[in-house]
């Protein structure tokens, strides 16, 4: 339960509060999740006035502050249409107006389409204090054990790769039981991320070309068995979705030629 509330005006003020070990404070993004936490008493540091809500193009990459609202990403011209589609699948309009990108990433599980897509784009996270930069693929598997800092400030992803995703859910409004996202760079580098299962999305493949995506996607979910789908089902469908993603990327490339 939230018992104390701080609303700092700068990032430095926020960091001073969050690193004060006598206070036991947590970052507050949109508050949609943290305001429902009942276990224990804690204080929060509201990020809304700290300037972490900007989206900026940096050459071949796009940087988004951790406190940018998901709805604002939908309005931004440089945000890839597939990222916008992922947000619309994952989260309702009401929540999008409150929830932040950082809060989403911190609390999303393996069934998030948005997290899968950002993983495919090899997103880099910046943490404070110390401006520690960590690739999302290295952070996700250990995120609860080894946080690189007290505050996630920025996410930065590649603008140029071709990006598509395919997913399966039991109904259009259900959470996905399988997501395959593919990003392909001009060099041919192809990265496949998968979601729809477990605590965290995973990288199925990251290679200099796209051969073997079907086998890699099938193998990545060899144990992905839960109450929503069997591992056998996920394995077979994952390989087909991966090939479908490549077909879509090929079609986009042809249309651009
Ligand atoms: C009614 C309802 C329905 C929902 N349905 C779904 C659903 O279908 N699927 C789904 O995946 N989720 C769902 N959620 C969860 C919710 O959408 C996400 O948890 C939300 O995106 C969290 O974002 P936030 O900005 O509100 O985070 P907050 O609630 O503010 O914070 C969440 C956590 O992240 C931490 N945090 C926030 N910002 C930072 C930062 N910059 N650095 C470090 N830590 C940070 C907080 O300390 C807290 O521990 C639902 C929530 C509600 C209330």
Pocket test of ligand 1: the residue of 7, 18, 23, 29 to mutate, having most ligand atoms within 8 Å of its CB, is: 29
What is the percent of the chain with per-residue pLDDT over 70, rounded to a whole number?
A: 100
pLDDT in tens, 58-108: 999 999 999 999 999 999 999 999 999 999 999 999 999 999 999 999 999
pTM of the complete model: 0.95
Q: How many CB atoms lie within 10 A of CB 72?
A: 19
pLDDT at 39 over 90: no
Dihedral of alpha carbons 174, 36, 199, 154, sign: positive
Beta strands in 47-189 (DSSP E): 55-58, 61-65, 124-128, 132-135, 151-158, 162-168, 178-184
The residue to mutate among 25, 33, 153, having the most atoms of ligand 1 within 8 angstroms of its beta carbon, is 33
Of all protein residues, the one whose alpha carbon is nearest to atom 6 of ligand 1 is: 91
Pocket test for ligand 1, best of 70, 94, 101, 103 (most atoms within 8 A of CB): 103
pLDDT in tens, 123-165: 999 999 999 999 999 999 998 888 899 999 999 999 999 999 9
Residue 103 CA, ligand 1 centroid: distance in Å = 5
């Amino acid at each position: 339960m939230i018992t104390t509330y701080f609303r700092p005006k700068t990032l430095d003020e926020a960091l001073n509060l969050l690193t004060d070990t006598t206070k036991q404070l947590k970052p507050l993004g949109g508050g949609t999740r943290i305001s429902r936490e009942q276990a224990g008493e804690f204080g929060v540091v509201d990020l809304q006035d700290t300037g972490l809500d900007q989206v900026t193009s940096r050459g071949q990459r796009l940087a988004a502050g951790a406190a940018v609202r998901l709805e604002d990403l939908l309005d931004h011209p440089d945000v890839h249409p597939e990222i916008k589609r992922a947000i619309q699948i994952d989260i309702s309009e009401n929540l999008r107006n409150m929830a932040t990108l950082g809060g989403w990433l911190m609390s999303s599980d393996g069934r998030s389409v948005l997290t899968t897509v950002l993983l495919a784009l090899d997103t880099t996270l910046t943490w404070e204090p110390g401006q520690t930069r960590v690739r999302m693929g290295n952070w996700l598997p250990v995120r609860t054990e080894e946080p690189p800092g007290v505050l996630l400030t920025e996410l930065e992803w590649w603008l140029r790769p071709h990006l598509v995703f395919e997913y399966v859910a039991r109904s259009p409004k259900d959470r996905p039981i399988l997501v395959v996202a593919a990003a392909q760079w001009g060099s041919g580098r192809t990265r496949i991320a998968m979601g729809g299962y477990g605590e965290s999305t995973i990288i199925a493949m990251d290679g200099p070309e796209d051969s073997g995506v079907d086998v890699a996607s099938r193998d990545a979910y060899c144990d992905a068995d839960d109450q929503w789908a069997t591992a056998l089902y996920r394995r077979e469908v994952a390989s087909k979705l991966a090939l479908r993603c490549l077909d879509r990327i090929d079609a986009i490339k042809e249309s651009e030629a």
